[in-house]
Amino acid sequence: MKFLAKFILFITIISCQQNISYENRINDDVNYLSNDKLEGRKTGSKGEQIAADYIADRFKSLKIKAKGTNKYFQDFSFNKPSNPHDQVSFDETDNDSMMSSKNVIGYIDNNAEHTVVIGAHYDHLGYGGEGSLYVGSEIHNGADDNASGTALMLDLASQLNFNNRNNNYLLIAFSGEEMGLLGSNYFVKNPTIDLSSINYMINLDMVGRLKEDKSLAVYGVGTSPIFKQSINSNNESFNLIENESGVGPSDHTSFYINDIPVLHFFTGQHSDYHKPSDDSEKINFEGIKGISDYIYSIISDLNDNGKLSFKKTKNETEEVPSFKVSLGVMPD
């Protein structure tokens, strides 16, 4: 009996140490991506390129395969509008008005028939300007929006690398979300895997401000009949706020309009949104890890369900979540 008690204590200590290690890794990722030296990771900027290289290096360190068109990168060019309210368009020709950026894509290949996409945008607003809610030119580090989601994606990647092998996993760090879902829009029009093989998509956007009441918003619950049961049966910690719609001002929308089930996780609006004050010292790192473990349990639960059925949600034009203002374009 004493041996059993000691063994249980040993396992508990090891588990706690692993969680602390994972949480520290999340802390490191958020702090790096939201550091001043990246100058706010504006789409197409040098700081965003540094962030892209960092994410690619993290994929490589996890021994996750490259699945872009240029190793881990999927490069794309777009026409920068002279008026910030004009529609942004993709263009393959070179001219002075063009800007370029890239998605960062890793792949866990389990030789499965279907693939789960896990995505998070890594761009932000640079020094502010269009989209900022701050008057002035200061670095907008975007710790919650969306270094937090990128770090959570990387944590999930580390957990999924050797588990739940009934699906493959495509990890995508999207660029251009703040300019109107550019990266995710480009990906679904130029996928690096067969789009019809995608089982479902999980989007992580602003997941770093879990509050004391542990409110966690989950959007897209109505896009597959199985989602509602799965998110609730695997929930032991969160006060879930469910929304059925697959449409919203974040990257999951690009997949939903291509008839792919989606889930989008979000910890809530706050006064630092799109301001220079969205910094890493305000991030709830333990909360990010808890959400990561929760999503992992959902993925595990869905692992044996084959290809999930897709369901369109009603009143989509009326149900666009108000948690985030999109000043760019929605995918056409």
Tell me what the pLDDT averaged over the chain comes to.
89
What tokens appear for 261 in the block? 């089930």
DSSP H helical ranges for the chain: 2-33, 46-61, 148-160, 182-189, 227-233, 252-256, 285-302
Q: What is the pLDDT of residues 267-312, one digit of tens each?
A: 999 999 999 999 999 999 999 999 999 999 999 999 999 999 999 9
At 167 the pLDDT is 98
73 located within any domain: yes
Distances in Å between the Cα of 227 and the Cα atoms of 37, 83, 219, 234, 243 are 40, 40, 10, 11, 11
303 located within any domain: yes
CB 300 within 8 A of CB 284: no
Domain tally for the chain? 1
The number of residues making up the chain comes to 332
323 located within any domain: no
At 314 the pLDDT is 81
Q: What is the pLDDT of residues 226-272, one digit of tens each?
A: 999 999 999 999 999 999 999 999 999 999 999 999 999 999 999 99
326 pLDDT exceeds 50?
A: no
Domain span holding position 237:
2-318
325 located within any domain: no
Q: What is the pLDDT of residues 22-48, one digit of tens each?
A: 779 999 999 999 999 999 999 999 999
Distances in Å between the Cα of 260 and the Cα atoms of 110, 217, 277 are 20, 20, 35
- Of the two residues 83 and 216, the one the predictor is more confident about is 216
Q: What is the pLDDT of residues 153-167, one digit of tens each?
A: 999 999 999 888 999
Cα–Cα dist 266/208, whole Å = 8
86 located within any domain: yes
Cα–Cα dist 290/51, whole Å = 24
CB 269 within 8 A of CB 321: no
Share of the chain above pLDDT 90, in %: 80
CATH number for the domain spanning 114: value is 3.40.630.10
**Bond into 258 cis (ω within 30):** no
82 pLDDT exceeds 90?
A: no
99 located within any domain: yes
**SS3 at position 261:** coil
328 located within any domain: no
At 21 the pLDDT is 76
At 16 the pLDDT is 43
Prediction pTM value: 0.88
163 located within any domain: yes
